[in-house]
Structure 1
Amino acid sequence: MLTSFERMVKSFSDWVTLVLGAPSSRAVIFGVPIGGHLFVEGLLLVVILFLLSQKSYKPPKRPLTKKEIDELCDEWVPEPLIPSVTKEMKYEPPVLESAAGPHTVINGKEVVNFTSANFLGFLGHKKLQESCTKALEKYGVGSCGPRGFYGTIDVHLDCEARIAKFLGTTDSILYSYGLSTMFSTIPAFCKKGDIVVVDEGVHWGIQNGLHLSRSTIIFFKHNDMKSLQSILEKVTHDNKRAEKLRRYIVVEAIYQNSGQIAPLDEIIKLKEKYRFRVILDESNSVGVLGSSGRGLTEHCRVPIEKVDIVTAAMGHALATEGGFCTGSARVIDHQRLSSSGYVFSASLPPYLASAAITAIDILEESPNLLTKLKENVAILHEGMKEIQGLEITSDPRSPIVFLKLKKSAGSLKADLQVLQDICDHLLKDYSIFLTTSKRSTVDKCKLPAGIRMYVSAAHTESDLRIACESLKKVAALVLACE
């Protein structure tokens, strides 16, 4: 027998079936018969959509009481603007108390300095100081505006013309800050969708310029031409749109993170074969490489017009500040309208432009400076050949002498700590000032850490010999304790 509840359910089900199946509940729309159940389902769908379109109910707001406000304020903890201070951050760096020449004063003590890229020894040069003084008296400290807006003075035009004449290019353009040269030049030419093949060892300034360009970035192994050729082959043959895209190769002449010299002659052959453009950063090679200091193109005997874009910071061999880009008139004119560092930044202070002109003049008048620099580099390389636990990774002709650990301590952080211990001992016990290749958190360079030494033409042979002997003793002491 059925229970009363089951009978009631059956009765209701029969009623619904009767209603939905009745002729009156059927309709014909556009010749299509619609059953009663479809009509009900459609009606339910309309109701659901109506309800979803209504604003959700919100209870009326009431003002917080003073007690509730105080409780919320006590509980609130703002996010820090900077990371919490770690033990490594508490390290007190040496304090420089004089000009960063070959000999300088650190914490009240005179030391031999190998941390400044003063390759030709121009820091403190009498002629450069006189040039700056005259420019200050004539023009004042700054030009008070971007180049295109009351910021161009005759000395800027003279400096651009002097650089172009020295390097054998058509024209050049000045930037007011060395790093901003790469920050601005790369995004001015490389845009979203372009392909940029770049060495994995480039310095942070180039990395940032590539990031700002939003181009498609492909890294090749450091200074490895087989890796470069493999990537160029893959890019051009596997990409059907490659011929319609702008394509660039970006390299440094002398790599700041390794001291290696780029084989420009091989790069140009690959560039011409696969139809790429080359952007070359000569920050560490202008005034250093070549028989007259004209950089990597002269060193490799490559006509400079084969390099599409050449950039350089002037804070190294030329001992001033700012940077420049040089090349064809078309390349330079494009930057005067589309390069952010040129259009929006205040122009280079006139006295620094004047100093750059004077530095180039001195370099051309004194070829013996280059001879002396090359001799010093050779002496240091020879003296550093057999150091316990360390090996030279830089090119024998590079004024950036780079030493890395033969056996890693296990991580980049641990390696840097060991290398820093060596530098600290050298400064404290032997008055030799060296630095490690520290990198910021945004630097994506994958090369090993090392000790970076900048050789100058102003270093004496005695400075170099003492540095070599002292480093051998300290490396043996520190690495023996590891």
Structure 2
Amino acid sequence: MLISFCLLVEGHFVIEVLLVVVILFQLSRKSYKPPKKPLTEKEVDELCDEWVPESLHPPITKEMEEQIQTPVLESAAGPHTVIDGREVVNFASANYLGLIGHEKIIDSCTGALEKYGVGSCGPRGFYGTIDVHLDCEAKIAKFLGTPDSILYSYGISTIFSAIPAFCKKGDIIVADEGVHWGVQTGLQLSRSTVVYFKHNDMDSLESTLEKFTRGNRRAEKIRRYIVVEALYQNSGQIAPLDAIVKLKEKYRFRVMLEESNSFGVLGASGRGLSEHYGVPIEKIDIITAGMGHALATDGGFCTGSVRVVDHQRLSSAGYVFSASLPPYLASAAITALDHLEGNPDVITKLRSNITLLWNGLSDIVGLSISSNILSPIVYLKLKKSTGSFKDDMKLLDVIAQHALKEDSLLICTSKKSTLDKCHLPAGIRLFVSAGHSKSDIQKAAESLKRIAALVLSDLN
């Protein structure tokens, strides 16, 4: 018995030794390399002829080609513009205060071009800061009553640079489901935990905030933000800032407010949503806005406390790595703000035009106005949806095409790219301007009522 056991142990030992030897032998061997035989020219040509590169994009369909064929403007995007050599009434440009082509703004741009040239040719933090940038930042801060402001070179990059500058992985962001693509991009770049609440629904917002904070000790130690638009580009609705601020203070969140469509429009003097609701502006932690709408220039700004602004000068990608705003555009923004302060009646004229268009479209067939009565974005959506966003868009595009072809009326639908995750209903957006005349408004209303009755009669 003992002899058998010893033989068994010795047998295992021999096998293990052999396995180790085999493994070491295999590891020490040189890897096999097939003999190098250069290809002949004929073989190379054959391989090249057979090679088909993978497409960089999906096949372009007829539907995609139709979307690419958009009207091309041949003059300034004012209340009236030129398309294919024909003058049309323009309700597709967010020229809210009617300042595109304004003589004072053109003069300020001409003077800045002569003094500074076309571009700054460098980022702000290196060699791209020019005195007019500092003047513009100071002007915006003074106008809004905030300690400091920071300029960005491109309007939409303001919000999607500001969000990742403050929100990081592990932070919590509660955002409205109706925010536009620029905000969505900023949320994605932040890598934070993002939860959406129902569009402009304060009960949904409070319920979401409570879920994150109730009994959650970890939530008390991380940064928490509420991100909303003041005036939603995808619906024309106005955010109830007074209710949002109360919820912010109750659940200890910070508020980030995107004001591209409300700056220069809402409030008695155009100072935006905080003035409209009478909420102290210091209760809003971060405010961003593009200057390509009311101010008829380009670029954007973020305003708030000195610490908020200084942090972006060091860590906001759109500021640190982009060439600074061309000086003539900063000069145009200053002139536009001066004009707004000196002519507050321009806001009265804008609101009068909005009301006039509302009255003209009140009984339009097949469509209803879903935007706020103070919104310069008059948003028309189908009373009876087809059940498909794509089919709804086809109907609305037909209306827009008829309006341009038959009545020289340029309007736009709420087209979305494949990257846009907003699920709000499709609609027609009419951008009302203080520069529109009474006859422009009446023409738009009469044209849309006639065409909608023709196109949508079968849906009723």
If the length of structure 1 is used for normalisation, what is the TM-score?
A: 0.91
The letter of the residue matching 2:51 is W
Q: Which residue of 19, 44, 52 corresponds with 1:69?
A: 44
- Determine the structure 2 residue equivalent to 1:78: 53
Residues 279-318 of structure 1 mapped to structure 2, 5 A cutoff? 279-318=256-295
Q: Please state if 1:381 is matched with 2:358.
A: yes
Compared CA separation, residues 49 and 267, structure 1 to 2 (3 A):
farther
Q: Which residue of 102, 124, 133 corresponds with 2:79?
A: 102
Q: Aligned-pair distance for 1:183?
A: 2.0
Q: Which residue of 358, 369, 387 corresponds with 2:335?
A: 358
Once residues 37 and 290 of structure 1 are traced to their aligned partners in structure 2, the CA distance between those partners, rounded to angstroms, is 93
Q: Which residue of 275, 295, 299 corresponds with 2:252?
A: 275
- Determine the structure 2 residue equivalent to 1:395: 372
- Determine the structure 2 residue equivalent to 1:46: 20
- Determine the structure 2 residue equivalent to 1:12: none
Deviation per CA, 1:190-233: give whole Å up to 9, x if none.
Answer: 11111111111111111111111111111111111111111100
Q: Which residue of 403, 427, 444 corresponds with 1:450?
A: 427
Give the SS at the match of 2:346: helix
The letter of the residue matching 1:62 is K
Q: Aligned-pair distance for 1:360?
A: 0.7
Give the SS at the match of 1:198: strand
Residues 316-465 of structure 1 mapped to structure 2, 5 A cutoff? 316-465=293-442
Q: Aligned-pair distance for 1:271?
A: 0.5
Q: Aligned-pair distance for 1:38?
A: 3.9
Compared CA separation, residues 137 and 411, structure 1 to 2 (3 A):
same
- Determine the structure 1 residue equivalent to 2:113: 136
Q: Please state if 1:228 is matched with 2:221.
A: no
Q: Which residue of 190, 196, 200 corresponds with 1:213?
A: 190
Once residues 188 and 45 of structure 1 are traced to their aligned partners in structure 2, the CA distance between those partners, rounded to angstroms, is 58
Give the SS at the match of 1:456: coil
Q: Aligned-pair distance for 1:62?
A: 2.5
Once residues 200 and 215 of structure 1 are traced to their aligned partners in structure 2, the CA distance between those partners, rounded to angstroms, is 16
Compared CA separation, residues 395 and 23, structure 1 to 2 (3 A):
closer
Instruction: Determine if contact 1:182/1:311 at 8 Å carries over to the other structure.
Output: yes
Q: Aligned-pair distance for 1:58?
A: 4.6
**Identity level (%):** 70
Once residues 21 and 179 of structure 2 are traced to their aligned partners in structure 1, the CA distance between those partners, rounded to angstroms, is 64
Give the SS at the match of 1:22: helix
The letter of the residue matching 2:381 is K
The letter of the residue matching 1:102 is P
Q: Aligned-pair distance for 1:447?
A: 0.9
**Higher Cα Rg: structure 1 or 2?**
1
Deviation per CA, 1:141-168: give whole Å up to 9, x if none.
Answer: 1122111112111111110000000000
Instruction: Determine if contact 2:226/2:254 at 8 Å carries over to the other structure.
Output: yes
The letter of the residue matching 1:79 is E
Q: Aligned-pair distance for 1:454?
A: 0.4
Residues 136-285 of structure 1 mapped to structure 2, 5 A cutoff? 136-237=113-214, 239-285=216-262
Give the SS at the match of 2:126: helix
Q: Aligned-pair distance for 1:380?
A: 1.1
Give the SS at the match of 2:54: coil
- Determine the structure 2 residue equivalent to 1:60: 35
Give the SS at the match of 1:151: coil
| Unpaired segments ≥5 residues, structure 1 | 1-17, 27-34
Once residues 363 and 191 of structure 1 are traced to their aligned partners in structure 2, the CA distance between those partners, rounded to angstroms, is 37
Give the SS at the match of 2:401: helix
- Determine the structure 2 residue equivalent to 1:468: 445
Instruction: Determine if contact 1:21/1:36 at 8 Å carries over to the other structure.
Output: no
| Unpaired segments ≥5 residues, structure 2 | none
Q: Please state if 1:25 is matched with 2:7.
A: yes
Give the SS at the match of 1:381: helix
The letter of the residue matching 1:221 is K
Compared CA separation, residues 68 and 305, structure 1 to 2 (3 A):
same
Once residues 39 and 401 of structure 1 are traced to their aligned partners in structure 2, the CA distance between those partners, rounded to angstroms, is 87
Instruction: Determine if contact 2:365/2:457 at 8 Å carries over to the other structure.
Output: no
Once residues 120 and 187 of structure 1 are traced to their aligned partners in structure 2, the CA distance between those partners, rounded to angstroms, is 31
The letter of the residue matching 2:65 is K
Deviation per CA, 1:361-394: give whole Å up to 9, x if none.
Answer: 1111111111111111111112222221111111
After superposing the two structures, state which structure 1 stretch, 428-437 or 402-411, moved more: 402-411
Once residues 405 and 307 of structure 2 are traced to their aligned partners in structure 1, the CA distance between those partners, rounded to angstroms, is 53
How many residue pairs end up in the alignment?
456
Instruction: Determine if contact 1:422/1:475 at 8 Å carries over to the other structure.
Output: yes
Q: Aligned-pair distance for 1:25?
A: 2.1
Instruction: Determine if contact 1:146/1:347 at 8 Å carries over to the other structure.
Output: yes
Q: Aligned-pair distance for 1:270?
A: 0.5
Deviation per CA, 1:167-187: give whole Å up to 9, x if none.
Answer: 000000001110111121111
